[in-house]
């Protein structure tokens, strides 16, 4: 069964390095433009809304820096909420008991990381693109 939503190219696969700098991009959620990001963890590209479960603010203090120093945990730079990169669940800190990060579906094909929009999370514009 084919997926109804078209894929949107985010970046070349080689741009995302395990535990390295992430790619920020904008999405539309309920008519509001929000940040999102894609990173690579243990060989797999993953993406989430860039919105801490503790306080609704972006995780990265420096654009694209989502991982802790070891490259194993996603960390909110403001209050230290920690998330599992594999599934976005809260691992500790002030996000405890508040769920986790909102995942977005990404796939890799032919050396490119793609995002698949869904009814609740749409491209900001017809020509959605990454931002630094």
pLDDT at position 50: 97
Q: What pLDDT is stored for residue 4 in this prediction?
A: 62
Confidence at residue 1, expressed as pLDDT on a 0 to 100 scale: 39
- Confidence (pTM): 0.89
DSSP for residue 6: P
> Phi-psi region for residue 21, left (φ > 0), alpha (ψ -120 to 50) or beta?
beta
Provide the CA 45 distance to its chain's centre, in angstroms.
9
* Residue 61 pLDDT: 85
pLDDT at residue 113 in the model: 98
| pLDDT averaged per 10 residues, the chain (length 132) | 75 97 96 95 97 91 92 93 95 86 96 96 66 44
Output DSSP code: residue 2.
-
pLDDT of residue 79: 87
Taken as a whole, the chain contains a residue count of 132
Domain coordinates in residue numbering, the chain: 8-119
Average pLDDT, the chain: 90
Q: Which CATH superfamily is domain 8-119 in?
A: Rieske [2Fe-2S] iron-sulphur domain (2.102.10.10)
The pLDDT value given to residue 33 = 95
CA–CA separation, 53 and 83 (whole Å): 10
pLDDT of residue 56: 85
């Amino acid at each position: 069964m084919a997926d109804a939503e078209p894929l949107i190219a985010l970046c070349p696969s080689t741009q995302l390095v395990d535990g390295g700098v992430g790619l920020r991009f904008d999405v539309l959620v309920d008519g509001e433009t929000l940040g999102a990001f894609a990173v690579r963890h243990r060989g797999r590209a993953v993406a989430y809304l860039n919105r801490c479960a503790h306080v609704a603010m972006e995780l990265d203090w420096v654009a694209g820096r989502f991982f802790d120093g070891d490259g194993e945990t996603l960390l909110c730079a403001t209050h230290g909420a920690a998330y599992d990169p594999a599934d976005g669940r809260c691992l500790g800190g002030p996000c405890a008991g508040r769920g986790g990060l909102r995942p977005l579906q990404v796939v890799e094909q032919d050396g490119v990381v793609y995002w698949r929009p869904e009814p609740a999370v749409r491209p900001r514009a017809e020509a959605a693109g990454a931002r630094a």
